[in-house]
Amino acid sequence: MAVQHLGPMFLGLALEQVQRRVEFLRAYADTSLAELESLSTSDRGVTGEAQWTLLAEAASATAEAAQLVAIYDIPEALSLFTAAGTRFIELGEPYGLFLRALAGVTDSVDVGFVGRMLRTSNLLAPFDEPDVVRLSPPQQTYLVLGAAGSAVLRNELSSQLSTLVERSENRRGVAPFGAVGTPLWRTWAIAAELERAGAHRGASTALVGHLVAMSIAYEERMRSAMVNTYLWSNLASPVHLADIEILGITALAATTFSSQTLAQEIGRQTEQLTGLASVPMSLGLELAAHLESGALL
């Protein structure tokens, strides 16, 4: 069970404390949505920026709650990841696609929306083309991870996806990405393995190697945060306990290669990792196994 990751050999936190943090985040999201609804039905002049901000706050709080809930309730976490993903997509943020993909819910995603995002990313569209939205490198990364990790989108948009993965300058990028500051080139190498969907032998081996490197960085972040015991015990440390990027990539890889195949490869490569370092990957495997079991209706 995922809740074991709160034990002394892992995160060393009380379940009740994590649940209280989740309650706060969900209440914050609900308050933001209620305020958004109030503004939308009032006679006062409402700016698009105000509406965008409220929806973004609700989406962010829901995503943070989801990664905490994954530690003790996988089905509920999947529901929250889906809700957060939907809100981010409403905002036009590809991060939402990544969240819905890791939750196994991309059949209802607008393929046209994803296709336009792929086409206008990086160098795939002329700079003078009207209505082109240039995505930041992190958002491009969430876009290709979400599309490459979804069998539906991978098949529907294979040409556009493979072109972006093969041509993007992000393949050589060194800017930090995600909660542990993974260099862009590593996440794009992962996206390339997902996009090929195991078309060559050793694909899962290479991908897990990248996940192991990310997990080592995760452990260092966690142990540094644990030094301040007051902040850590009160869940006030500026870290993501379940790490959405590692958890999400693991889940996407497990559904692409099968949970059993990925779990075997992770087991082979992580013999020297501590229990703490393995937390996000373990949660990702549990999430994918739950989806494969058909438990999510």
3-state SS of 158-195 is HHHHHHHHHHCHHHHCCCEECCCCEEHHHHHHHHHHHH
118-156 residues labelled b (16+ CB within 10 A) or e (exposed): bbbbbeebeeeeeeeeebebbbbbbbbbbbbbbeebbeb
pLDDT of 296 strictly over 50 = no
Write the pLDDT tens digit of every residue in 248-289: 999 999 999 888 888 888 988 888 888 999 999 999 999 999
Predicted structure pTM score: 0.91
What is the distance between the alpha carbons of residues 78 and 296, in angstroms, rounded to a whole number? 8
Write the pLDDT tens digit of every residue in 224-235: 999 999 999 999
Q: Tell me the two tokens of residue 62.
A: 């829901």
- Residue 14, Ramachandran bin (φ over 0: left; ψ between -120 and 50: alpha; else beta): beta
Write the pLDDT tens digit of every residue in 14-44: 999 999 999 999 999 999 999 998 887 665 5
45, 260 contact by CB (below 8 A): no
Query: Closest by alpha carbon to 278, among 234, 216, 236, 235?
Result: 216
How sure is the predictor about 297, in pLDDT bands with cuts at 50, 70 and 90? Answer: very low
Write the pLDDT tens digit of every residue in 161-217: 998 898 888 999 999 999 999 999 999 999 999 998 756 556 688 899 999 999 999
At residue 295, the pLDDT reads: 47
